[in-house]
Every structure is written in structure tokens, then in C-alpha cells.
Structure 1
Amino acid sequence: MSIEDQIQQTRAVVAALHAELPRWELVVWTAGNVSQRVVVGSAPGPTDLFVIKPSGVTYDELTAESMVVCDLDGNLVDGTRAPSSDTAAHAYVYRHMPSVGGVVHTHSTYATAWAARGEPVPCVLTMMADEFGGDVPIGPFALIGDDSIGRGIVETLQGSRSPAVLMRNHGPFTIGRDAKAAVKAAVMVEEVARTVHIARQLGDTIPIAQADIDSLYARYQNVYGQQPTHTPESDS
């Protein structure tokens, strides 16, 4: 597949995934964005490009054609509209975390409420151990407009098992191997933020022991779901 074909395919994927944000009630009006790194073939791997939502465009108006293509410095490469105001943050993540293929930002209500408190969501649910491998961390306060937010995301998530960070006074950013995985993380971080908030209204929550968190995380990441079928030939 040529790079032009891959860009078009990535545009379609990113446009479709934006529809998941209002569907799961993670955004209002034009807030929030999804991006995905452009990958061509299996080698040498990612290009220095990613696709992201244009700034200030309503979700009903988003199409594959309206998505914009940027380089890893956040410069517009292809498209007729200005990129999202969070483009610099996405670009910084892609530059400094080569394994990341997708980035999502929302202002989902409960996750953003924890960000406003500057408080990590504690790992008191097995779902959290599964998905995040521990607490959902808080990142530093940073202003929009340059790569300050991106630096905070990278500094917080490098070395962490969590695919989500709550940037203080701002909201959640999530990462994944591709945009779909990052959107899933955005859905899950809002769900656990809501559940833990409700639990704390009822009384004290019960922490999960670190050894159990590690066991749950390893099982979910390596055993849960449909695993590849091994044949005698593949094992030989």
C-alpha cells in the first residue's frame, strides 16, 4: 500500500473513531480529539506523519476528507483546515514515545473532575488493575499552545503501565498502540473515574494489594480475550 493510500485509510479510521467520543458521552460541542500515526507496511514502520481532527469543527461535520495530516513537529502537511489546538501535544507524544500509535484527548466529566482536584484515581477496582495496571496518574498543569502538555504526558506515562493521564486542571489524555486502543482507554478511564467517585460518596474504598494488581494486569494483558491458535506446524 502506498503512503497516499495509507494516509487515506488513516483519515477514514480517525474520522470514524471521533464518532465514538460523543457516543460514550466523553465530549461536548467541538472539544476533544483523536489522532493516529500513519504507518506504511511492516518495515521500516511508522512514518513521520499523523492524522488528527481539524480545530473547532463539530462532530457531525467530520469526514475522512476533513481530517488533517501533520508531521511530528505539528506542522500541517495536508488538509484545508487548521489542525486541532492540541496538535503540539499529540506531536510531542509521537516524537518521544515511538510505540504509541494513537492519542486521544477528552474533557469527560468524571475524569476531568479528578484532574480538577489534582488527585490520581486510586486502584480500587479489578477493572483498573486490568486496564491501567494501578492508579490513573495526575500530570502537571500546562498551558495549551506549545508542547508543554505533551511534555507532561510523556514525563508522567514513560515508565508507567497506565495508558491514561489526567492533566491537572485540564482533563484526560490517553495513548494506545493505535487510535482505537487510545479511544478504549478514554472510555475506560471515564468509567473508573465515575465508579470510584460514587464509591467514595458511600464511604472508604478498599485498596487492592500490589501483588494482586500485578497478577490481574498480567492476566488481562496476556491471557484475556482471543489468543492466537497454535498449530503443530507453528510450534515446530
Structure 2
Amino acid sequence: MTTLDLAVAGLRTQLVDLHRELTRWNLVVWTAGNVSARVPGADLLVIKPSGVSYDDLTPESMVVCDLDGNLVDGELSPSSDTAAHAYVYRHMPHVGGVAHTHSTYASAWAARGEPIPCVLTAMADEFGGEIPVGPFALIGGDEIGRGVVDTLNGQRSPAVLMRNHGVFTIGSDARAAVKAAVMCEDVARTAHLACEIGQPIPIPQNAVDSLHHRYRNVYGQH
């Protein structure tokens, strides 16, 4: 096997595991949602096939597409969100993974067209501020991808709430994108509950900056 073949095989296996994380954290129902990964050193991505149950996903069922969303390798049709993922990869070279969910609380904020305010230290850590709202866009073409890129460019947040739709997250790799999706739903739920019982208190910007810097550069093992 070539180096490229090995990379694709590894990503296919990783994506099966990451889609199980979506169900583990209750971020998706039925066959909704998807995760993709950029293939290092190639203009390719690996993504979930369309309409296939999470229980039935295997490394062999994952499909490989070029960065225009065209099928390159695989027996099944790619996700209906493939064009959106491909657009993100074309226009955000630093992105190595994209995740999409319809998680309940975050999607409720998206339905209201309202960003999630930065009222928790966990939000400052992971998102560096509020989680922004992107425009309404129809599924199937690259319009969603355009909205994701336009909204996240210049933002520290790896997550965007696409209006009337759901969550798209980006990361240096697919695992980072899934982590952002998990964290997005967690803070969306807490922020919603805070709004139910009173008026949440925003974190001052200088504290947000300090928390985000510490999380990115000090927290964890290096």
C-alpha cells in the first residue's frame, strides 16, 4: 500500500469511531449528521455515506471525494453535506476535520437565529467568545459551506450555528471538530437553562481572552 492508501485507510477507521462519538454524546438521531477528514498531502476528503445507519458504518463504507465533492473511491453515495465540507476545506487550508450535528440545544439556538453568549468559562476556553450564527442555506450545494467559512473567518470559535439548521464545527483534525461539537451542545444546554431561570452574566472580554489563551497554551500536556 502507498502512503496515501495508508492515510485513507486510517481515516476511514477513525471516522467510524468518531461517528460513534456523535451517538454516544446524543448529538444526532437516526442518520442525521456527519464527520469528514481531510487527507493529508492530497486534495481529498473522507466522509460518511448518505443515509447509512450509524450502526452499519464500517471503514469500507466511508467514501473518498475530491475537494470539489466528487466521488473518488467508495461504493456508496457521499453525504448530502459533502459539497459544504469540500467548500470549507478549499477555503480554510488549516482545517483538517469538519463535523455537522443537529444537537438539540445548539439547534434550538440556531432556530432562534441567536448566537450563544459567552457566559461560561468553558465557552471562553474552547470558543474564545460567543458561538456565532451563520446564514440560512439550503442543503445539497456549497451554500452551507460558504456560510460556515464567511461566519468563522476572523473568529476564534470552531463552531457556527447555521440558522434554522444546526451545528457545523471545524478542527485541526476530525477529532478536534467532534470535540468542538460535543462542547457546543454542552454549553448550549447550560446557557439555555441559565436563560430559563434568569439573565446570564457575560464574561468580560479581557477575562475571555485570558481564559482562551491559557486553555490553548497552558492547559493539558505539552
TM-score of Structure 1 vs Structure 2, range by shorter chain: over 0.9
**2:62 pairs with 1:61:** no
**Post-superposition offset of 1:145:** 1.3
Match of 1:233 in 2: none
For residues 1-236 of structure 1, the aligned pairs below 5 Å read 2-39=3-40, 46-227=41-222
Query: How many residue pairs were aligned?
Result: 221
Q: In structure 2, what residue type is equivalent to 1:3?
A: L
SS of structure 1 residue aligned to 2:167: strand
Aligned amino acid, residue 189 of structure 2: R
**What letter corresponds to residue 12 of structure 1 in structure 2?**
T
List gaps (5 residues or longer) in structure 2.
Answer: none
Return the offset for 1:5: 1.2
C-alpha displacement of 1:15:
1.3
Residue 154 of structure 1 and its aligned partner are, at CA, apart by 0.1
Tell me the percent identity.
71
Residue 113 of structure 2 aligns with an amino acid whose one-letter code is G
Q: CA RMSD in A?
A: 0.6
* Amino acid corresponding to residue 92 of structure 2 in structure 1: M
After superposition, what is the alpha-carbon deviation per residue over 1:186-233, rounded to whole angstroms, capped at 9, x for unaligned? 000000000000011110110110000000000000000012xxxxxx
SS at match of 1:218: helix
5+ unaligned residues in a row in structure 1: which ranges?
A: 40-45, 228-236
The CA deviation at 1:185 is 0.2
Runs of 4+ aligned residues of structure 1 deviating over 3 Å after TM superposition are: none
Q: 2:138 & 2:7 partners in 1: Cα distance?
A: 33
Specify the SS of the correspondent of 1:47.
Answer: coil
Per the TM alignment, residue 94 of structure 1 is displaced from its structure 2 partner at its CA by 0.2
TM-score (norm 2): 0.99
Q: Deviations over 1:64-83 (max 9, x none)?
A: 01000000000000000000
Q: Which has the larger radius of gyration?
A: 1
2:30 & 2:184 partners in 1: Cα distance?
Answer: 20
